[in-house]
Amino acid sequence: MSLSSLLTAKKKELKHCNTVVTNMLGEKYEILGSEMRLIDKGLPFVVDTKPDLQMAMVEPGLYFGSQDPAVNIDILQTHGIRHIISIGIKLEIVFEDIQYNFIDLMDIPEAKISEALKACLGIMRESQGQGIFIHCNAGVSRSASVVIGYLMIKKNLSYDQAYQEVKSIRECIKPNDGFVKQLKALEFSDFSSFF
């Protein structure tokens, strides 16, 4: 049997599948041949339906998570938080004795995670290890991506190693595909530009 006929036979055994694509507006499309059919209109962000008050400890004095702990003074004081880095979320509630920093970053694949990472590293360096809490909306993509990048740089880890370390402390993380691609590209970078 020739390779061509073997491939043709194996191709016939494959199960049919449909491709579903979600755009930046949360619209889901099914691709059928050369046509796209709208199948659902969702939201382009994670809907926060209940408070997520968990703060994942990356290392002593460094935590990350959702925006919910950032507006709870008892949790912040319990963890010794003196600095909050808000990624893409402007907090409406702020407390005295806490320094706030806002990093403008949308949770879309096209956004430049390296710029947010550089800004966060600068803030972390200036805070000299005083309790830091990094958050985004849900603590799933943006803040997790920054923490993964931080560990890659600090511990000289690959993306996969840093991802697994962060996943072990906050199981719900899921950096968007663009952030993953950008962070994987950092594996081959000279990190001196980040310091």
Q: Which of 17, 120, 136, 172 is catalytic?
A: 136
Domain assignment present for residue 152? The answer is: yes
In the residue annotation, 136 being an active-site residue is answered as yes
- Measure the CA–CA gap between 145 and 167, rounded to whole angstroms: 11
20 and 66 inside one domain: no
Could you tell me the two tokens for 108? 């879309």
Domain assignment present for residue 49? The answer is: no
pLDDT of 176 above 90? yes
Tally the domains of the chain.
2
Could you tell me the two tokens for 160? 């996969």
Tens digit of each residue's pLDDT (9 = 90 or more) over 157-174: 999 999 999 999 999 999
Count CA atoms closer than 13 A to 164's CA, side-chain side.
4
pLDDT of 195 above 60? no
- Measure the CA–CA gap between 141 and 107, rounded to whole angstroms: 7
- Measure the CA–CA gap between 70 and 87, rounded to whole angstroms: 12
Domain membership of residue 139 as a residue range: 55-194
Sheet strands side by side (includes 99-103)? 55-59, 62-65, 131-135, 81-87, 99-103
21 and 115 inside one domain: no
Q: Tell me which DSSP letter residue 50 carries.
A: S
Confidence of residue 193 (pLDDT cuts 50, 70, 90): low
The model's pTM: 0.75
80 and 176 inside one domain: yes
Tens digit of each residue's pLDDT (9 = 90 or more) over 84-132: 999 999 999 999 999 999 999 999 999 999 999 999 999 998 987 789 9
Confidence of residue 46 (pLDDT cuts 50, 70, 90): low
